[in-house]
Each structure stands twice: as C-alpha cells, then as structure tokens.
Amino acid sequence: MSDQGCGIRKIVYYSEEFLLENGSAPAVPAVRATAAAVVANPWLGGKPSDDLSAEVVQFAPVLARKLTDVLIAGLGGVDAIQAFGKAAIVGTGGEIEHGAALIHTPFFGNLVREYFEGESIICFADDRGDAGSTLVVPLWHKNAAATRSHYQTITTRIGDAPLPGEIVVVLGASTGPRPHSRIGDRLTDPIVKADTLGELIS
C-alpha cells in the first residue's frame, strides 16, 4: 500500500546525538531518535462501542514497516538499535482508544519487534492533544527491558499535527544508554525497604 493510501500526510524524523553531557563526552556514545507518521484517524465520528479491528489490521502493519524503516536508515541499521519505545497522539476529534488501537496490538508491536530484532514489551506513551503538542516517548532495552542504563526518553513534537481528525504515531529508538549512566542495576542494588532506612523516613 502506498503511503498516501494509508492516509499518511507527513513523516517526521528527529535525532539527537550527545557529544557532551555535563561537560564531558559520554564513554558510550548514543543517538536517540523518533520517527513519526501523521495519519488520518480512520474512526472519526464513530461510537465508543465500535469494533476497531478491521482498520487496525489494515493500517498498523504499514505504520510499523514505515517507521522501522525510517529509524533503521537513520540510526545505521538494526544492529545499532538497542532501545525502543512507541507513542500516539490523537487529535482532539478522536478517542484515546484510537491511538491505542494503532500501537497496542500485535499488528504494530509484533512487527516492530520483528523488524528491530527485539523481544521486550515496548514501553509507550498515549495522549490526545492539539497540533504542536509535545509528548515524552519512553525507551528501554529491546531485549532486556530491566536494563537500567537504557531507561531514557526523547521528546516528540510536530508543529502542525495532529489536526483534530489525525493521529500521530511515533516510534522511538536509541543506539545506547543514557550519557554517563551510573546508577547501578538490579544486580548491584542493596535491599531497600522502609524499615531498613531508619530515621531518614521515620
């Protein structure tokens, strides 16, 4: 299906490469990026009881293919991608459920995992807003979601989208950890409970 046939008005790519953080170069460099597609909401004017599945099957796989292609090209290949996340911003004429439908089913998520060669559940953010809304897209490791060094976010925004009848579907990815990540991991954490902290919180 052509991009226009899928109702894609615009595709936006945004990447950030950190050369310095707090004045020094990260020991492990990383580039974070988002790819966003602005699509017509196929469920405008519907009822809360409507079955959304036919359009999910029709549109979500095309968006997964398109957005993974953009990120793989932008970030230098599948192997370079270590973390991922997803998001949807529904225009004010739509339901939150419309955005969820495009990103929270196997017709999007399973294909993103397959194209990115990842196994983790994909972390996400959903919102509804006007054109120009910002949304923070969470990312975590594509194969080991609890890898704390890879907990990070990237902010997405398109000046003229979503229009009230549109949905912005966003996929995020990173080629590495946070700059200067150094807060340990589950394997190195001490046991922390309220009663072991004593006077600090008593």
Partner 1 sequence: MSIRKIVTFTEDVLIEGGREVAPSARVAVVAAIVKNPWAGQGFVEDLSAGIDANASDIGALLAPRVLEALGAPAQAYGKAAIVGLNGEIEHGSGLIHTLAFGNHFRDAANATTLLPAVEKRGPAGVVFDIPLKHITDATIRSHHQSIEVRINDAPHADEIVIALAAASQGRPQQRLAAFATETK
Contact residues toward partner 1 (CB under 8 A) are 3-4, 7-21, 74, 132, 134, 155, 157-160
Least spacing, CB of residue 158 vs partner 1, in Å: 8
Q: Which is nearer to partner 1, 39 or 60 (CB)?
A: 39
**Could you report how far apart the first and last alpha carbons of the chain are, in Å?**
61
Contact 107, 56 (CB under 8 A): yes
Least spacing, CB of residue 108 vs partner 1, in Å: 19
Q: Which is nearer to partner 1, 20 or 191 (CB)?
A: 20
Contact 150, 139 (CB under 8 A): yes
Residue showing tokens 């072991």: 196
Q: Which is nearer to partner 1, 23 or 45 (CB)?
A: 23
Q: At what angle do helices 53-75 and 106-116 cross, to 10 degrees?
A: 20
* Other C-beta atoms lying within 10 Å of the C-beta of residue 79: 10
Q: Which is nearer to partner 1, 102 or 135 (CB)?
A: 135
Phi/psi for 179 (5° steps) reads -60, 135
Least spacing, CB of residue 48 vs partner 1, in Å: 28
Least spacing, CB of residue 191 vs partner 1, in Å: 35
